[in-house]
Amino acid sequence: MPREVAIVGAGIVGLACAHHLLAEGWRVRLIERGGVAEGASFGNAGALAFTDVLPLASPGILRKAPAWVLDPLGPLALPPAYLPRIAPWLVRFWRASLPDRHRHATVVQAALMQLAAQAMAAMTQAAGLTGRLRHDGNLELYESEAELIASEPGWAARAREGIAFEHVRGARLAELQPGLSPRLVAGTFTPNWMTVDDPHRFALALHADVTAKGAALTRAEVRDIAPADEGVRLTLADGTALRTEACVLAAGAWSRELARRLGDRVPLDTERGYNTTLPPGAFDLRRQLTFGGHGFVVTPLATGLRVGGAVEFGGLHRPPNFARADAMLRKAAAFLPGLRTEGGRQWMGFRPSLPDSLPVIGLSRASPRVIYAFGHGHLGLTQSAGTGRIVADLLAGREPAVAVEALRAGRFG
Ligand SMILES: Cc1cc2nc3c(=O)[nH]c(=O)nc-3n(C[C@H](O)[C@H](O)[C@H](O)COP(=O)(O)OP(=O)(O)OC[C@H]3O[C@@H](n4cnc5c(N)ncnc54)[C@H](O)[C@@H]3O)c2cc1C
């Protein structure tokens, strides 16, 4: 008789957990209150950023943040009304940015990324998704030599983790991406960075595969998770109780309350992000471009060209401010002369973010049968398969390939 597991949340993380648990013989039920992958996993920038091993909480960000936050439509927005709510998170972010903590988190992130890359390769192979991957790397762009020089410590730290990159100028820069504004004087090419054809299509294809392999989907909102004899009891919004042998909490930015009910106070908040997806052909884009100084990326997708990024603190309920998406599109047009900016679709998504830029993956305090898999911030698509593998290890009682101590819910005290 196969064991039974319920996965709360059918975003890319929940789906990757489903993939890995099915492979180990679990009977899997996804429980999702909305559409499959219609949360953060719907409209992200599609990067498999395995080379992005530097946690966002870093000394460099602390230097840039004050100027960013003063620009009303800049890369970082902090509405004054949300400040009291987010202040404890920001204090933790600042602590995590201190050099020794940042170094430690970099080692953890690098190990997680190594596993994530291996697990993604295996998962896409097993699920027939390899045709949805683009292997053309990422090009980070700079407006001055000084900006490139300022980025050097970060590249040196990546080099220590074995990340390959190439600083480029002139003809090599133009070869990697023709048609750039002359304002962009240099770049850094990371060849092992990948993208997917479209994050929503990618997730739906994974869902189709796990469904074909036996995963069931229940459309419902989970209100409570509690240990019960020999298993776990889930209470749904209509009052129905559902018994299962194990549970994975993968509800993205909405996981905090359910974790609290299991006795874990996790400082999960959301970094809201915006983008505009232009119709295919809006620009002859050769690979994903990163404008690090402006906090956005431009991604070639099968469904069009996606311009976006930015971080806005503001929680899960404030209405979106699409002027942010407009502002990034205007900047992109200035950097990519000839970009056709008409006909775009705007989107806002909720990154599930912990202040130390690492996810929560591990056992709940209340029960070893409830496993957390949330809080991947800017990197949930990238780390989805790696997370699935760790979750499968934990539920099987095996030691995961990554030391999960640094990822446990209780690490914030
Ligand atoms: C603008 C932007 C760009 C990004 N770019 C990238 C990128 O290029 N690469 C990358 O790796 N990451 C990127 N990210 C981050 C990435 O999108 C997220 O980290 C990832 O999608 C999180 O996946 P998830 O499955 O944890 O959450 P989600 O996709 O949000 O899924 C959580 C699911 O849980 C469901 N749910 C919540 N509560 C309940 C409940 N009580 N009962 C039942 N269901 C529930 C929700 O409906 C939702 O479907 C980006 C994010 C944004 C916003």
- Please indicate, yes or no, whether residues 281 and 316 belong to a single structural domain of this protein: yes
Does some domain include residue 115? no
Using most ligand atoms within 8 A of CB, pick from 32, 268, 276, 370 the residue to mutate for ligand 1.
32
Residue 106 belongs to a domain: no
Q: What is the position in ligand 1's atom list of the atom closest to the CA of 255?
A: 38
* pLDDT at residue 85 in the model: 93
Residues 214, 89, single domain; the answer is no
The pLDDT value recorded for residue 72 is 74
* Contact of 248 with 8, CB cutoff 8 Å: yes
Pocket test for ligand 1, best of 113, 274, 351 (most atoms within 8 A of CB): 351
Q: Report the C-alpha gap between 390 and 360 in whole angstroms.
A: 11
Domain that holds residue 34: 4-42+201-263+357-412
CA-195 nearest atom, ligand 1: 8
Q: Out of 353, 374, 399, pick the residue that ends a domain.
A: 353
Residue length, the chain? 413
Q: Quick check: 267 and 254 in contact, CB under 8 A?
A: no
The CATH number of residue 232's host domain is: 3.50.50.60
| Residue 113, in any domain of the structure | no
Q: Which residue(s) pair with 305 in the sheet?
A: 278, 300
Q: Is residue 256 part of a domain?
A: yes
Nearest CA to ligand 1 atom 19: 380
Predicted local confidence at residue 58, as pLDDT: 84
Give the CATH number for residue 160.
Answer: 3.30.9.10
Residue nearest to ligand 1 atom 15, measured at CA: 378
Residues 171 and 212 in one domain: no
Of the residues 313, 328, 353, which one is the last residue of a structural domain?
353
Q: Ligand 1, residue 14: give the atom nearest the CA.
A: 25
According to DSSP, the residues that pair with 77 across neighbouring strands are 312
- 124 within some domain: no
Q: How far is the CA of 134 from the centre of ligand 1 (A)?
A: 21
Which residues have C-beta within 8 Å of that of residue 354, sequence separation ≥ 6? 266, 267, 268, 360, 375, 377, 412
Cα 241 from Cα 42, distance rounded (Å): 29
Same domain, 64 and 144: yes
Query: Is the residue at 120 inside a domain?
Result: no
Q: Are 298 and 361 part of one and the same domain?
A: no
Question: Which of 224, 376, 382, 391 is the best mutation target for the ligand 1 pocket, counting ligand atoms within 8 Å of the beta carbon and taking the most?
Answer: 376
Ligand 1 neighbours, Cβ below 6 Å, are 8-14, 31-34, 38-41, 44-47, 49, 221-222, 250-254, 273, 275, 308-309, 349, 351-352, 374, 376-382
Report how far ligand 1's centroid is from the alpha carbon of 185 (Å). Answer: 35
Task: State the closest ligand 1 atom to the C-alpha of 274, by its place in the atom list counted from 1.
Answer: 1
d(CA 266, CA 261): 11
Q: 250 and 378 in one domain? A: yes
Residue 308 CA, closest ligand 1 atom number: 1
Q: Which of 210, 294, 379, 390 to mutate to test the pocket of ligand 1 (most atoms within 8 A of CB)?
A: 379
Please say which residue of 334, 353, 372 terminates a domain: 353
Residue 255 covered by a domain: yes
pLDDT at position 120 is 98
At 115, give phi and psi (nearest 5°): -65, -40
Going by C-beta distance under 8 Å and a sequence separation of 6 or more, which residues neighbour residue 177? 139, 187, 285, 286, 287, 289
Q: What are phi and psi of 103, to 5 degrees?
A: -60, -45
- H/E/C letters for each residue in the chain? CCCEEEEECCCHHHHHHHHHHHHCCCEEEEEECCCCCCCHHHHCCCEECCCCCCCCCCHHHHHHHHHHHHCCCCCEECCHHHHHHHHHHHHHHHHHHCHHHHHHHHHHHHHHHHHHHHHHHHHHHHCCCHHHEECCCEEEEECCHHHHHHHHHHHHHHHHCCCCCEEECHHHHHHHCCCCCCCCCEEEEECCCEEECCHHHHHHHHHHHHHHCCCEEEECCEEEEEEECCEEEEEECCCCEEEECEEEECCHHHCHHHHHHCCCCCCCEEEEEEEEEECCCCCCCCCEEEEHHHCEEEEEECCEEEEEEEEEECCCCCCCCCHHHHHHHHHHHHHCCCCCCCCCEEEEEEEEECCCCCCEEEECCCCCCEEEEECEHHHCCCCHHHHHHHHHHHHHCCCCCCCHHHHCHHHHC
Query: 194-196 and 47-48: which strand pairing?
Result: antiparallel
Q: How many whole angstroms from 32 Cα to the centroid of ligand 1?
A: 12
Measured in Å, residue 327 CA sits from the centre of ligand 1 at 23
Q: For the chain (length 413 residues), average pLDDT per consecutive 10?
A: 89 98 98 98 98 88 78 85 93 93 93 97 98 98 96 92 95 98 98 97 98 98 94 97 97 98 97 97 97 95 97 95 96 97 98 97 96 98 98 96 95 89
Determine the distance separating the centroid of ligand 1 and the alpha carbon of 85, expressed in angstroms: 21
Q: What angle do CA 347, 349, 353 make, to 5 degrees?
A: 160
Distance 39 CA to ligand 1 centre (A): 5
Are 249 and 326 in a shared domain? no
Which of 17, 29, 33, 204 for a ligand 1 pocket mutation test, highest count of atoms within 8 Å of Cβ?
33
Q: Residue 2's pLDDT is what?
A: 64
- pLDDT for 67 equals 79
Residues 144 and 179 in one domain: yes
CA neighbor of 185 nearest in space, from 136, 148, 138: 148
Going by alpha carbons, the residue nearest to atom 14 of ligand 1 is 378
CA torsion 387-392-397-398 (nearest 10°) is: -70
| b/e per residue 41-63 (b: at least 16 CB within 10 A) | bbbbbbbbbbbbbbbbbbebbee
Q: Are residues 280 and 336 in the same domain?
A: yes
Q: Are strands 304-313 and 269-278 parallel, antiparallel or unpaired?
A: antiparallel
Q: Are residues 277 and 333 in the same domain?
A: yes
Domain count, the chain: 2
- Cα separation, 223 vs 346, in Å, equals 30
Q: Is residue 302 located within the same domain as residue 382? A: no
Kindly state whether residues 26 and 161 are assigned to the same domain. Answer: no
